[in-house]
Amino acid sequence: MRLVQYVNVRSPQHLCAGVLQGDSVVDISHIASTTIELLRGGEKMESEVAAYLNTNPPAFTRDQITLKAPVTGMDKVLCIGMNYKDHCEEQGAPIPTEPMVFNKFPSCVVGPEDDIPFPPTTEQLDWEVEMVIVIGKKGFEVAEESAMDYVYGYTTGNDLSARDWQLHRNGGQWMIGKGMNGFAPIGPSIVSKDEIADPQKLKVWCKVNGETKQDSNTSEMVFNVSKIVAWVTKFFTLLPGDIISTGTPPGVGVFRSPPQFLHKGDTVVCGVEGIGEIVNRIV
């Protein structure tokens, strides 16, 4: 199942939950008004949606709707840093022995087609394609062997970063550099884990203005999905709708020679195999 949130172009103020089927979207807002409500409803509500889809319900075509972030209103937006071996190598950094965790704010989350305002406080805006875990069940102190039970599915994300603030200003901590408005575009849908045979064998890529900047595979991740979920639940209670960005591969702008950064007018495409692409313009 591919869960989305969308607005009808005729009533863009009203957010709806739906299921993406090919190029069409089936509205399920009579069952769950938002995707986080569906995730909180668990297997019972998901079964209601599945039964409804079997009735061959009417659907909107893509030109009738605008996709928004597939989940909003979550409690936590967590991120894993330095989680690709080849990304560590490109910056001459040691491979971590335990997951490096930081966070963004839920208010950073925007949709797969939304424009990203260029922050007036940075001169070094950078891209980072990431596969994003979407949590489906409350969990604390979860064993690695059962960690996948708490994963609902996956989406595609871009961990946008203001490198000057992240690396050179504000005392060396990352909150400002990672947490500005619009710094967590995700989408286009939440793909349930049963549709992904192996989350550790997916191509990931990022293109800026059509030029490939990142091209790797989740097989390069230092810590896999199960290890990440088990690790973060040592410290935090995960709740339905929480998301965890799993790290970025090499090719980010700051470590290029010379460094490259985003500018107003640039279009950034981030994609994960089997999950989909997000396309955001910097304005």
CA distance 93 to 274: 30
- Give pLDDT, residue 172: 80
- The domain total for the chain is 2
Which H or E run contains 163? helix 163-163
Domain range holding 159? 77-281
pTM check: above 0.75: yes
7 and 41 share a domain? Answer: yes
Q: Are residues 52 and 174 in the same domain?
A: no
Q: Which of 43, 68, 93 is the last residue of a domain?
A: 68
Residues 111 and 242 in one domain: yes
Which of 19, 39, 68 lies at the terminal end of a domain, its last residue?
Answer: 68
pLDDT in tens, 130-169: 999 999 999 999 999 999 999 999 999 999 999 999 999 9
Considering 68, 87, 110, which residue would you say is the last residue of a domain? 68
Average pLDDT over residues 7-11: 90
38 lies in the same domain as 89: no
* CATH code (residue 221): 3.90.850.10
Give the confidence band of 10 by pLDDT, cuts at 50, 70, 90: confident
Residue 89: its H or E element:
helix 85-90
